[in-house]
């Protein structure tokens, strides 16, 4: 009797094949986590492979925790030696071991996006950059993207024209930003991967990692970016025992660097790869799967999986055409109320939408109806000011070189330390070659400071030193208590005091829980864990509230009853005349993800009117994805669609408002027209021509067919509808 006897035929094939490269194409709800964990159990319990030689990589702490727990149930105590982690957690572990080989201390801190923007804002002031176009947010995003592509400051010099002013400014900010992080012994989120890759270029490190992890499993492989791909490829190069699990039809993160070609080209990278498809779905009804299959078959990038299930046919997908967004929200809330009256719990119902902005009206209606709800993907708990302040104290205690967190806490709570004082302190620190915190030891040498100011700075220094001296003996809770007692932080809270104190209490709960789960956890380990927390890690299944989130946030989750709002062309798919075919395919995959979240019932709503950027848009077209669904699977609830349309048209005429066709929420124009002119059968473009795109810059035409043109740009290959070519290309 084998441990694999509980798997279906295809799952078993995937689990049994251990040696060499393996590609598991796992459709939504096909039991991929079960397959992977049974595969690991088979390797350890039946093949005798040491858990020390196995590493499983995934993208969320939630997924890693689930995989680890399932493996533990199958394997027992041996699972403790098994590494199941996110890419970033693995990178942190690697860096904590070998960081000194690339010039970092092992106690480095990890900066989040808010930290990045604050530092960049300071750099802009330091370099006297008044360019309002280059906002800290834009710069931070660009830096992160470049790092994820493996492009550092030196590499960037060879890729951009430094004669252009904006390029020159960005380059100087990027360079200074990296210098600040290095001097603070800190890394941002993207640095974790970039520096892990750098370490693996070191033969000494690479050999040890390869010998430790002879078997690699990568979950959600379709979501890997270029640098994650390189990390995995380097580790797997020696033994080639690499198993990747993923679904090209659920590749939805191109906007943050995910490269779908990593999974599409796996068989090219590994010529002898064993490929197996998991197509049996254990989540959704036949009706929901029929709709999903019909949508995704329109994508050329799909490998042709077709989900099927032994489950019941189930209810038809309910489609509601709302008159406006208020009607849409009211319909959804009424359906939720109806479900509740039939004994269905709020926690089993979820509202999905394409953009966060759609949540406002829904929240309003939920509040008015006294329906408990929770939004995922908004401001995270650890981003709240009071929490950031306390964590900044902890970070400074962990890493005395962290000047950024010093500047954050020196006036939190307020100590009346002004900007001019801080400038003098920074100058003194630079002269002494020490951190801002350690420079306070020499504060008496700083000219032009009042005695009272010097006293405050000395008190701060002594307080931090006193806490720091006990770090090796203190528990996390004791460090927290020391910070709160000595700073008297709560006494200085002025606004929203009750809510902020509750948040601080919750932070304390988090610390206590962490110590229970990880006895002996150090301050550095706790800070790393917090830095790597994602928005859905703490999604509590037992709490009875309606969940609201974007479709992107819902990836990997499942819900009994799903309400998908805003299914309108321009909104979902998010598109305009510049949208390429590849981008439409990604939007279609996103729709596929949304549909396959539903286990029992799916509701789809779209509105005939929607306010966009302060302008009311009428006669909005339903999403093209609705027409791609299996129409037999749909039940249209709005019998008065045409009546509503005529009514809308009449209102528009009465108000002398211009009819808007082809709704585009991102257009600043009030109307967009499609051309009725016959498109040229004989394109003026030829393969090999060099062209310029208004968005993607210069590129070379690779191929042309009757409908589309493929162009190789600096940013990668793009497919453009031939009928739009003349609008966006110039010779």
Instruction: Cite the active site residues.
Output: 32-33, 219-220, 250, 597
Closest CA to 110 of 382, 341, 371: 382
326 close to 554: Cβ distance less than 8 angstroms: no
Which pair of structure tokens corresponds to residue 131? 């360019």
Tokens, residue 78: 């041996």
Contacts of 623 (CB under 8 A, 6+ apart): 567, 568, 569, 571, 572, 573, 591, 606
State the residue for tokens 């994602």: 534
- In order of 35, 283, 556, the CA distances from 6 in angstroms are 10, 17, 23
Q: Where are the beta strands (DSSP E) in 89-241?
A: 109-111, 186-188, 215-218
Q: Is the peptide bond before 573 cis (omega within 30 degrees of 0)?
A: yes
Contacts of 398 (CB under 8 A, 6+ apart): 107, 109, 523, 524, 527
Instruction: Annotate 349-411 with DSSP letters as a single string.
Output: EEEEESSGGGHHHHHHHHHHTT--EEESSSS-GGGSHHHHHHHHHHHHHH-TT-HHHHHHHTT
Whose tokens are 């550092």? That residue is: 152
Q: Which uninterrupted H or E stretch holds 48?
A: none
CB 373 within 8 A of CB 366: yes
Q: Residue 435 and residue 395: Cα distance in Å, rounded?
A: 14
Q: How far apart are CA 553 and CA 558, in angstroms?
A: 11
Token output for 282: 């254990």
The one-character DSSP state at 493 is -
DSSP letters spanning 533-589: --TTTT--SSS-SEEEEEHHHHTT--EEEEEE---BTTTSS---TT--HHHHHHHHH
371 CB neighbour count, 10 Å cutoff: 16
Residue 614: C-alpha distances to residues 83, 565, 655, 668, 670 (Å) = 51, 20, 17, 10, 11
What does DSSP say about strands 598-607 and 317-322: parallel, antiparallel, or unpaired? parallel
Which 8-state DSSP code applies to residue 68?
Answer: H
429, burial (CB in 10 Å: exposed 0-12, middle 13-18, buried 19+): buried
3-state secondary structure of 182: helix
Kind and range of the H or E element at 320? strand 317-322
In degrees and rounded to multiples of 5, residue 435 shows phi and psi of -75, 165
Q: How many CB atoms lie within 10 A of CB 348?
A: 17
- Is residue 611 a contact partner of residue 568, using CB atoms and an 8 Å limit? no
Kindly tell me the sign of the dihedral angle through the C-alpha atoms of 456, 462, 466, 467.
positive
């Amino acid at each position: 009797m084998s441990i694999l006897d509980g798997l279906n035929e295809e799952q078993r094939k995937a689990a049994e094949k251990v040696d060499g490269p393996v590609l598991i194409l796992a459709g939504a709800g096909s039991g991929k986590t079960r397959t992977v964990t049974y595969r690991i159990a088979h390797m350890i319990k039946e093949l005798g492979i040491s858990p020390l030689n196995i590493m499983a990589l995934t993208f969320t702490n939630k997924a890693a925790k689930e995989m680890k727990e399932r493996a533990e149930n199958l394997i027992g105590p041996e699972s403790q030696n098994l590494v199941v982690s996110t890419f970033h957690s693995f990178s942190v572990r690697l860096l904590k071991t070998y960081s000194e080989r690339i010039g970092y201390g092992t106690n480095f801190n990890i900066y989040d996006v808010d930290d990045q923007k604050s530092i960049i804002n300071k750099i802009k002031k330091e370099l006297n950059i008044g360019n309002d176009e280059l906002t800290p947010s834009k710069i931070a995003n660009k830096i992160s993207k470049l790092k994820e592509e493996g492009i550092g400051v030196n590499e960037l010099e060879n890729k951009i024209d430094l004669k252009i002013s904006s390029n020159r400014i960005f380059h100087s900010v990027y360079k200074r930003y990296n210098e600040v992080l290095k001097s603070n012994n800190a890394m941002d989120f993207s640095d974790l991967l970039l520096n892990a890759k750098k370490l693996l270029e070191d033969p000494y490190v690479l050999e040890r990692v390869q010998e430790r992890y002879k078997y690699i499993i990568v979950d959600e492989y379709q979501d890997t970016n270029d640098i994650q791909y390189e990390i995995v490829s380097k580790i797997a190069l020696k033994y080639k025992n690499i198993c990747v699990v993923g679904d090209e039809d659920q590749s939805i993160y191109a906007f943050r660097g995910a490269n779908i070609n990593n999974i599409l080209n796996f068989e090219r990278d590994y010529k002898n790869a064993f490929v197996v498809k998991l197509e049996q779905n254990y989540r959704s009804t036949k009706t929901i799967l029929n709709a999903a299959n019909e949508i995704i078959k329109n994508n050329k990038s799909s490998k042709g999986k077709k989900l099927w299930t032994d489950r019941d046919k189930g209810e038809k997908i309910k489609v509601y055409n709302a008159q406006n967004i208020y009607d849409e929200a009211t319909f959804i809330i009424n359906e939720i109320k109806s479900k509740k009256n039939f004994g269905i719990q709020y926690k089993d119902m979820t509202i999905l939408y394409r953009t966060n902005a759609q949540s406002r009206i829904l929240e309003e209606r939920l509040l008015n109806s006294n329906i408990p709800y929770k939004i995922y993907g908004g401001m995270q708990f650890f981003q709240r000011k009071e929490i950031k302040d306390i964590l900044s104290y902890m970070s400074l205690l962990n890493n005395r070189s962290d000047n950024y967190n010093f500047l954050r806490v020196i006036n939190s709570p307020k100590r009346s330390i002004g900007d001019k004082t801080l400038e003098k302190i920074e100058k003194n620190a630079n002269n002494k070659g020490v951190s801002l915190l350690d420079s306070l030891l020499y504060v008496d040498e700083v000219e032009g400071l009042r005695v009272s100011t010097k006293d405050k700075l000395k008190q701060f220094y002594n307080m931090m030193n006193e806490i720091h001296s006990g770090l090796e003996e203190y528990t996390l809770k004791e460090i927290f208590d020391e910070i709160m007692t000595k700073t008297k932080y709560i006494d200085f809270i002025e606004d929203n005091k009750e809510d902020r104190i509750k948040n601080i209490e919750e932070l304390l709960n988090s610390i206590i829980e962490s110590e229970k789960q990880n006895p002996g956890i150090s301050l550095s380990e706790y800070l790393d864990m917090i830095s790597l927390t994602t928005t859905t890690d703490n999604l509590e299944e037992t709490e009875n509230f309606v969940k609201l989130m974007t479709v992107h946030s819902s990836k990997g989750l499942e819900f009994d009853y799903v309400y998908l709002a805003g299914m309108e062309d321009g909104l979902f798919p998010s598109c305009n005349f510049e949208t390429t075919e590849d981008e439409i395919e990604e939007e279609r995959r996103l729709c596929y993800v949304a549909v396959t979240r539903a286990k029992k019932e799916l509701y789809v709503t779209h509105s005939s009117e929607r306010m966009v950027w302060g302008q009311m848009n009428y006669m909005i077209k339903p999403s093209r994805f609705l027409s791609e669904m299996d129409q037999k699977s749909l039940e249209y609830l709005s019998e008065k669609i045409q009546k509503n349309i005529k009514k809308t048209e009449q209102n528009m005429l009465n108000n002398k408002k211009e009819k808007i066709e082809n709704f585009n929420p991102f257009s600043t124009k009030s109307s967009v027209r499609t051309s009725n002119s016959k498109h040229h059968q004989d394109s003026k473009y030829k393969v090999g021509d060099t062209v310029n795109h208004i968005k993607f810059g210069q590129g070379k035409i690779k191929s042309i067919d009757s409908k589309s043109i493929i162009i190789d740009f600096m940013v990668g290959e793009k497919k453009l509808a031939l009928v739009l070519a003349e609008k966006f290309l110039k010779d």
